[in-house]
Structure 1
Amino acid sequence: MNRLIEFWPILKRLIKYAIPYKKKIILSFFLLISGATAEVLGPILISYFINNILSQHKFYLQVILIIVITFIILQILSVFFNYFQSIYFNKISVGIINKLRHDVMNSAIKQPIYQFDSQPIGQIISKVTNDTEAIKELYDTVAPTLFRSVTLIVIILCAMFTLEWHMAIIAMFIIPLVIIIMSIYQYYSTPLLRKVRYYLANINNKFNETINGMNVIQQFRQQNRFKKSIQNSSQLHYLARMKILKLDGFLLRPLLSLISALVLCSFILSFSCLKHEVFEVGILYAFITYLGRLNEPLISITIQQSILQQAIVAGERIFSLIDSQKQAYGKHKKRLKTGKINIKNLSFSYLEPQKNILDNINIDIPSKSFVAFVGHTGSGKSTLANLLMGYYPIKNGEIYLDNKPIKSISHCILRESILMVQQDPIILADTFLSNIALGKEISEDKIWETLKIVNLDSLVKSMPRGLYSILGEEGNTLSVGQKQLLSIARILVKNPKILILDEATANIDSGTEQLIQKTLTLIRKNTTLIIIAHRLSTIIDADVIVVLDKGKIVECGNHKTLLQKNGYYSKMYNFQLFKH
């Protein structure tokens, strides 16, 4: 009972998804009841035939034909009704799961970036795929089976009491025993089912990690280690599943079959000990038939309990994602007029409040200026870029864009006004056109003009279908430099107020770097440009170079001024110059 109360809120939320299909569900239930009724009426006809025709040797051909034809019609109707109710329930379940998957995916897309930093991607994928599939069975298997089973039990018991109430009371003893078995099963199966869902998600996560890192795995000959890791996860999943199967094997069909056998023995003893006038042979036949049919829905109910448990556990995981806290954005929806940035007393930490990644950062960046952030690995450069993008909520200090606090700016204006080119740009397995437009209505002329600026026009023209050529998964048909140029082409068609390049030239050749530098010179006419760079030769022309060390600004000025100071920047620059 406690577990039922615990699960009720989740079950209630899952049931709410069925409300739009109310009329179809009513029709499906009508078909289901009709099929169950037709199925139960068959043994009554046979009982009548045994008692009134066979036992009395009154073989009237017309009556026998009517009984046979009626019996066949009832069986056909039962098949007909059960077929269509199954079709309807499956249509309903697919529609509900489509809506649920939409909600889960919509929630996953709206998750703050820091959620993806702390949560394995495979876990999220498992929620969208495996968990929603488990919930699908709630609608297309559990609900119709439970309703059909309960309907059959009620109709069978009514038929039993109509035929002979003494034996019906004996049959009734099976129901409380089944309820006890179901309660015991629920108690032991729930924690096991939670483990199964967790282990399955863990397997998905390991497969995702292995496939994405295949180059590194093969390069460092780590195949056996990753194979063992997946085998261990699979073994844990297997052991948990085996425990559930053992539980099913003991508490479900064998135990219920034993109880049914005991009830059947009670029928036979009652028939043998009492006067034959009390029980007729036809009634005994009907009761034996009904007992077999009563046994099946009781077993079905208990088996469905297992699937119901899995659906509820999957629902817990899905609703934990849907209900997870979303990042709050402001309500300001007016476009930014300038690319001016002011950072005031900004401090930031990820998980440990006492360990700041950024410590009391103060910078004023005029609109349309070129600013570079430099520093050793771990100095806080990328963290600062992510905060400018609005990926993380700011708790200490403030960032102003165009004199407006970043927390007051709406998500759509933020994403429209400030864009980032990353070191490893994401390329979709789609057309060149789709990768540049990204869902926006942009003319082909504008895209060709942009491709010419970034020197990709000749590459696109050489492809069989031009702009409509499909790029491989993650853009594997393009070189690293071409991916970077493509990601910059995305920026040029959007014309943002602020552009951030996070190590965008770290992995490309000098020729491609020069192309990017020319493109950035054009961008600077209308956009505030912020570059995070390890290769200091790319930022010599920056208006301001901000040097970070351990989350603090240690130097600030242009290239010439910083070299004269002979400090952090000078040492970094001379080291790179000497190395090359």
Structure 2
Amino acid sequence: MSKRDVLARLLRYLLDDKKGFAIAAALLLVAAVADVSGPWLIRIFLDDYLAKSYFPPMVLWGLAIGYISATVLSAALHYSYGLRFSRIAIGIVQTIRKKVYASIINQPLSAFDYVPAGKLVSRVTNDTESLKELYVQVVASFLNSVALITAMLIAMYLLSPTLTLVVAILLPSVVFVMYYYQHRSTPAYRDSRDLLTDINSVMSESIQGMSLIQLMGQEQRFSERFASLTDQHLTTEVKIVKVNGIFLRPLIDLMSGIALISLTAIFGWQGSEVIGVGVLYAFISYLGRVTEPLIELMQRLSLLQQAIMAGERLFELMDAKPNQYGSDDAPIENGDIEISNLTFSYDGKTPVLTDINASVKEGGFLALVGHTGSGKSTLASLMMGFYPLQAGELKLGGRAISSLTQNAMRTGIAMVQQDPHVLSATFRENVTLGRKISDDHIWQALEQVDLADYVQHLPTKLDTPIGTGDVTLSAGQKQLLALARVLVERPRILILDEATANIDSGTEERVQRALSSLRHTMTIVVIAHRLSTIADADKILVLHRGHVEEQGSHQQLLANKGRYWQMYQLQQTKAHLVELEQIASGEAE
């Protein structure tokens, strides 16, 4: 999208509130007429009365009152215009910000695989603020300048076409300077905006990963990286200042000075008998009022460049294709899962899953095991519909996952991730997540995951905020809370992605019993490293480098003495060594 297309698209938002824009335009036009009236009244006084030494009291009082009224009216109308236009601008920014955010949260997860969170935050906040400056400063000033210059030129022409021609020569020169300034400043403003985004991204990532940075002793390296970006941004800003220093006020002042000298020369050549002193005063006054908005408009061009760069980024997000879902909105009626010849790659080059085949009936227990990078979590993400299928087939409840709507998928299948996100809100809000769920169902879910007793002893129970004050959940409690979120609505298929990894063995046994009681109503898929947690699974898929190397029950796989048997033996040996260490430390005490 070209800069002209971006600007045109941004300006079209002004027409969303046609009535408000029309009222603002009407106020501006009347204000321009009031601005023109003041010098015109003084011209009448100088040429028609002062030059003739004729001073009728009533007329002079009328001119004085008219001048004061025009000045007051102009100020009031400009205030009303600025206030109304600011409201329109803020409304547009809010609309764009909402659209950008809605577009971001509806994009497929693949869109976030390689984009730092800090850059997205910068676009939603900083770039939309740049758009506000576009409407409040640039567009408002442009309309004000156009209205004022038009009114002034009409008034000048009525006074003296000859002098108006001299002033009119100034305008094309200003347009040329503005065009050349935009051409020279655009690259610098683009670099400045990109570097500012990178700075925000580094800051955001550094704060989020502060523990890792300090743990690995990388404070100096991150400081140097931030300093380097800051220095580059400073260099770019200096370039912008140099361009502004040359093309903004100095050139406009020079051209207005030339115009003023020309007016004075023509006045001296033709004489006061042809051109009155009042006319010259009015022209000089109008010239000053014309050049000031031109200088202001030139200064606003820097904001225009920033807004166009910001608009490009924001429209890129707004126009991104959302996650594609099907049209079948019927609820998933059973928990059958069928996977046929499934192949997937994140980048289209390196396969992560290759020719996966598996199936499990409703109420079954499917386990996915394998070393890190074997494709377990990727397969679970495909079951959740986070990524579109590339090859093969995946059916949920006998229906292709690509045919299901988002609503059908999210109500029929749920996942508890290894590192669940906890909101800075109450327990109730963290469980319901905006859904209409009764407190009885919440307590029932908390009871199933062994959190009910903990919440009951809190000062305000379900209304207790998490993450503020003295209430902070451990990693295991966060996973139990995430499990309670999905149990309140009883999905047909429940996926646990290492959801019991940070839970102590006693709590894990309670969760296992709760899941066992739910197996007759839902299908359970568990990704696990601890093989003891999946010993009673109906089917275990052993993944290795994206392939299904083995599948079967726990006993069948042990009898085969393949990769699963090796993994089991290693874990058993490790557990035995830990037990011996505990015994030895107990005897030493």
TM-score of the superposed pair, with normalisation by structure 1: 0.95
Deviation digits for residues 173-200 of structure 1, max 9, x if unmatched? 1111011101101212222222222222
Residue 428 (structure 1) aligns with: 423
Asked if structure 1 preserves the Cα contact closer than 8 Å seen for 2:337 and 2:361, the reply is yes
In 2, Cα distance between equivalents of 1:515 and 1:225: 46
The alignment-based identity, stated in percent, is 43
Q: AA paired with 2:136? A: D
Deviation digits for residues 311-354 of structure 1, max 9, x if unmatched? 2221111111111122221111111111111110111111143x
Change (3 A) 1:248 1:474: farther
In 1, Cα distance between equivalents of 2:333 and 2:93: 44
Deviation digits for residues 43-66 of structure 1, max 9, x if unmatched? 111222222333333344433322
Q: How far apart are 1:390 and its partner, in Å?
A: 0.8
Is structure 2 residue 80 aligned with structure 1 residue 73?
no
Structure 1 runs (4+) deviating above 6 angstroms are 473-476
Residue 309 (structure 2) aligns with: 313
> Which runs of structure 2 are paired with 1:76-475 in the superposition (5 Å)?
76-353=72-349, 355-472=350-467
Q: AA paired with 2:129? A: E
Partner SS, residue 283 of structure 2: helix
Q: AA paired with 1:298? A: L
> Which runs of structure 2 are paired with 1:1-80 in the superposition (5 Å)?
6-80=2-76
Q: AA paired with 1:522? A: S
Partner SS, residue 521 of structure 2: coil
Asked if structure 2 preserves the Cα contact closer than 8 Å seen for 1:475 and 1:483, the reply is no
Residue 544 (structure 2) aligns with: 549
Asked if structure 1 preserves the Cα contact closer than 8 Å seen for 2:248 and 2:299, the reply is yes
> Which runs of structure 2 are paired with 1:454-533 in the superposition (5 Å)?
454-472=449-467, 477-533=472-528
In 2, Cα distance between equivalents of 1:236 and 1:515: 57
Q: How far apart are 1:375 and its partner, in Å?
A: 0.7
Q: How far apart are 1:473 and its partner, in Å?
A: 7.3
In 2, Cα distance between equivalents of 1:109 and 1:58: 75
Q: AA paired with 1:371? A: L
In 2, Cα distance between equivalents of 1:310 and 1:93: 16
Q: How far apart are 1:397 and its partner, in Å?
A: 0.7
Q: How far apart are 1:492 and its partner, in Å?
A: 0.8
Deviation digits for residues 193-245 of structure 1, max 9, x if unmatched? 22222222222211211111111122223222222222222222232232222
Change (3 A) 1:266 1:16: closer
In 2, Cα distance between equivalents of 1:49 and 1:509: 94
Residue 580 (structure 2) aligns with: none
Q: How far apart are 1:569 and its partner, in Å?
A: 1.0
Q: How far apart are 1:17 and its partner, in Å?
A: 2.4
In 2, Cα distance between equivalents of 1:529 and 1:191: 55
Change (3 A) 1:363 1:536: same
Asked if structure 2 preserves the Cα contact closer than 8 Å seen for 1:427 and 1:474, the reply is no
Q: What count of residue pairs does the alignment treat as equivalent? A: 575
In 2, Cα distance between equivalents of 1:60 and 1:224: 82
Partner SS, residue 221 of structure 1: coil
In 2, Cα distance between equivalents of 1:223 and 1:50: 73
Partner SS, residue 549 of structure 2: strand
User: Greater CA deviation, 285-294 or 501-510?
Assistant: 501-510
Asked if structure 2 preserves the Cα contact closer than 8 Å seen for 1:47 and 1:286, the reply is yes
In 2, Cα distance between equivalents of 1:475 and 1:377: 36
Please provide the CA RMSD for this pair.
1.9
In 1, Cα distance between equivalents of 2:169 and 2:491: 75
Match of 1:579 among 549, 574, 577: 574
Q: AA paired with 1:502? A: D
Partner SS, residue 328 of structure 1: coil
Residue 585 (structure 2) aligns with: none
Asked if structure 2 preserves the Cα contact closer than 8 Å seen for 1:546 and 1:555, the reply is yes
Q: AA paired with 2:211? A: N
In 1, Cα distance between equivalents of 2:50 and 2:24: 38
Structure 2 gaps of 5+ residues are: 576-589
Q: AA paired with 2:371? A: H
Asked if structure 2 preserves the Cα contact closer than 8 Å seen for 1:271 and 1:279, the reply is yes
Residue 560 (structure 2) aligns with: 565
Q: How far apart are 1:7 and its partner, in Å?
A: 3.0
In 2, Cα distance between equivalents of 1:34 and 1:144: 15
Partner SS, residue 18 of structure 1: helix
Q: AA paired with 2:145? A: S
Is structure 2 residue 559 aligned with structure 1 residue 537?
no
User: Greater CA deviation, 219-228 or 327-336?
Assistant: 219-228
In 2, Cα distance between equivalents of 1:370 and 1:515: 17
Q: AA paired with 1:26? A: A
Asked if structure 2 preserves the Cα contact closer than 8 Å seen for 1:146 and 1:300, the reply is no
Asked if structure 2 preserves the Cα contact closer than 8 Å seen for 1:192 and 1:244, the reply is yes
Q: How far apart are 1:474 and its partner, in Å?
A: 14
Asked if structure 1 preserves the Cα contact closer than 8 Å seen for 2:450 and 2:507, the reply is no
Partner SS, residue 520 of structure 2: coil
Asked if structure 2 preserves the Cα contact closer than 8 Å seen for 1:429 and 1:474, the reply is no
Deviation digits for residues 263-288 of structure 1, max 9, x if unmatched? 11112222233333222222222111
Asked if structure 1 preserves the Cα contact closer than 8 Å seen for 2:342 and 2:353, the reply is yes
Change (3 A) 1:473 1:318: farther
Q: AA paired with 1:318? A: L
Asked if structure 2 preserves the Cα contact closer than 8 Å seen for 1:31 and 1:84, the reply is yes
